[in-house]
Amino acid sequence: MRFPDFSRRQFLTTLATAAGSAFVPNFLSASPLQDPVVDATKKDGETVSREKVPWKARPFPMKQVRLGDGPCKRAMEADGRYLHSLPPDRLLHTFRINAGLPSSAQPLGGWEAPDCELRGHYAGGHYLSACALMYASTGDEELRSNANAIVAELGKCQANLEAGGYLSAFPVEFFDRLRNRERVWAPFYTIHKIMAGCLDMYVHCGNEQALDITEKMAGWVAGYTGPLSYDHMQRILGTEFGGMGEVLCNLYAVTGRQHYLEVAQRFDKKVFFDPLAAHRDELKGLHVNTHIPQVIAAARYYELTGERRYRDIAEYFWDEVVSERSYCTGGTSNGESWNTDPGKLSTELSTNTTECCCAYNMMKLTRHLFGWTPDARLMDYYERAMFNHRLGTINPEDGTMMYYLPLASGYWKTFGKPFDSLWCCTGTGSEEYAKLTDTIYFHDDESLYVNLYIDSDLNWPEKGLRVRQETRFPEQQGTTLIVTAQTPTPLAINLRIPYWAQGGSVRINGATLPAFSSPSSYLTLNRDWKTGDKVEINLPMGLHVDPMPDDATIQAMMYGPLVLAGRFEAVGKDLQYGDYEPKNHPPIKVPDILADANRPTAWVEPDAKESLTFHATGQSQPVTMVPLYQIIRERYAVYWKVNTKSA
């Protein structure tokens, strides 16, 4: 009863045709409560945690990390401008209409349009999460205030719906269709987004009403799912339901009400989890972005119950997707699905490769695994996805997002329209660039992990410590840390030595250390840190090829962490906006590459003046190559057909 022939966008098109148409009340609070995945909550001055398996390394509250100048901050600011541009009354329109409340606002379009079955997913879900995260990352009071206003109005809608806690922008009858296995898009997927948005408003902005709304919604979910037989519920799980399990776990973690854990487990999809628990890759044919959030739910379930099976599911899944089903960018999926056996990727390059939501969710899952075992390999992946798939899929001008990042050659990037797209990927993108502060640094009681090289400031009041990270990475091949300490503070600072580092060195207060660490590990600097202490790390980048696992003649070229893309002619604005992928215009022909069999990177040479700019040499036509994230308007090529000659 699933609709395997319908991707989301096909489903939307079909429908259109058929239709003819607090705990942290302010920034001064020292409360550690900041993120549903690290939910040590403060209650009456006591820290309460429901984690059976606490993370060994934990992130800092986002309000303790601030971005400095660089590509990440620019992406965050573009996201902020987009969030500020959305009028609350337009966001609320379909919720009010659905609840029988008056609204004269102009409806939004795209996936928020009044006839779209996913309406509400962004307006009452992602938008709230994004505002809450942006508030945590920047202290943006206006966004918090706008989001608080939305929560208050959602509360009125929920009260007016009189359906036992139900809250949505579409009628509850959608759930009758779901129960009867009649065609409906993804009602639980949408409910998850709204619950997660409200819970984020509670966690990051201290909005107590948002928690109350979430709990009432959970009560409705429990009432709907409770009477269903196990087999009936399993059939319902054939319709996309996203992170229902995750948000219910998080709600348990925040409230301590055991019942939510039991409801969460009703969303365990047996045919998906069983093979993963047995370490079997049966992912072929699955819709990618509906399944990654289920694994995040498994990770949460493991953390809250200690049941090892859920950890096995999460770790096996991550390994398999990252090593067998991901491209050089860290992205995964083609046409929203895994269409092939493991390791078969060379035939999958298309305009529909690598949906942005999938990168968002894989990065989110990675943080859980890193919390359990702080392994540099996990952050190597995180950096790869961050610098190649996430930076560069937000439009720096207006903060609009991409849906697919095409990996077929000769195409271009397409962005949504500000008020008339509002896709799933608009939603996850709005969240992503609002939480770029959440992974740069992790810590435990005795050590600091510097995971990502991003210009930023860390404030660690429990240690009386501040760390300024100064870098122009990735233009700069390394970073500098400058410490301010109230008193000399013993601490191990763990610096990630990335997989791509070609040697490297570290200096403390000008003196070079005699030792260094191998790639994909953490270099530990253990000492009493004093104000003015300065750590300079040099991480030389070099060219390296990233060949397809099943066809070594199809290769991407990388420089350090960066995927280099051939940059070709620019497209006009008409082609740049509006659709999930480039279409109605053929690709340009991209040359095959002739390379030396023994020196596979020798055909690429750095530009004499411009940093991070390269040129192909000895080819049939000139090609300039730059980091994929820097390309916004031009046609590009990531994977090349490489023919070899022996010198």
Enumerate binding residues for Zn ion (CB under 5 A). 355, 357, 424-425
The residue with its CB nearest to Zn ion is 357
Q: Which two tokens stand for residue 138?
A: 């920047």
* Residue 533 or 581 having the CB closest to Zn ion: 581
Q: What's the min distance (Å) between Cβ of 185 and Zn ion?
A: 14
Q: Which two tokens stand for residue 521?
A: 């590990």
Q: Which two tokens stand for residue 237?
A: 């799980």
Q: What's the min distance (Å) between Cβ of 403 and Zn ion?
A: 6
* Residue 264 or 425 having the CB closest to Zn ion: 425
Q: What's the min distance (Å) between Cβ of 510 and Zn ion?
A: 48
Q: Which two tokens stand for residue 413?
A: 């990037």
Q: For the chain, what is the radius of gyration of the CA atoms? A: 24
User: What whole-number distance in Å separates Cα of residue 542 and Cα of residue 21?
Assistant: 53
User: What whole-number distance in Å separates Cα of residue 434 and Cα of residue 130?
Assistant: 6
* Residue 3 or 516 having the CB closest to Zn ion: 3
Q: Is 131 exposed, middle or buried (0-12, 13-18, 19+ CB in 10 A)?
A: buried
* Residue 357 or 543 having the CB closest to Zn ion: 357
Nearest to 283 by CA among 345, 363, 328, 230: 345
Q: What's the min distance (Å) between Cβ of 33 and Zn ion?
A: 29
Nearest to 582 by CA among 368, 413, 398: 413
* Residue 98 or 352 having the CB closest to Zn ion: 352
309, 315 in Cβ contact below 8 A? no
Q: Hey, is 343 helix, strand or coil?
A: coil
* Residue 293 or 504 having the CB closest to Zn ion: 293
User: What whole-number distance in Å separates Cα of residue 383 and Cα of residue 401?
Assistant: 20
User: What whole-number distance in Å separates Cα of residue 590 and Cα of residue 645?
Assistant: 20
User: What whole-number distance in Å separates Cα of residue 584 and Cα of residue 335?
Assistant: 17
Q: Which two tokens stand for residue 600?
A: 């596979």
What kind and span of H or E run contains 534? strand 534-538
Q: What's the min distance (Å) between Cβ of 361 and Zn ion?
A: 9
* Residue 6 or 516 having the CB closest to Zn ion: 6
* Residue 240 or 315 having the CB closest to Zn ion: 240
Q: What's the min distance (Å) between Cβ of 289 and Zn ion?
A: 6
Residue at token pair 């409360």: 31
Q: What's the min distance (Å) between Cβ of 423 and Zn ion?
A: 6
Q: What's the min distance (Å) between Cβ of 357 and Zn ion?
A: 3
Q: What's the min distance (Å) between Cβ of 581 and Zn ion?
A: 12
Q: Sheet of 58-59: strands edge to edge?
A: 58-59, 441-443, 447-450, 489-497, 521-529
* Residue 401 or 481 having the CB closest to Zn ion: 401
User: What whole-number distance in Å separates Cα of residue 187 and Cα of residue 178?
Assistant: 8
User: What whole-number distance in Å separates Cα of residue 45 and Cα of residue 42?
Assistant: 6
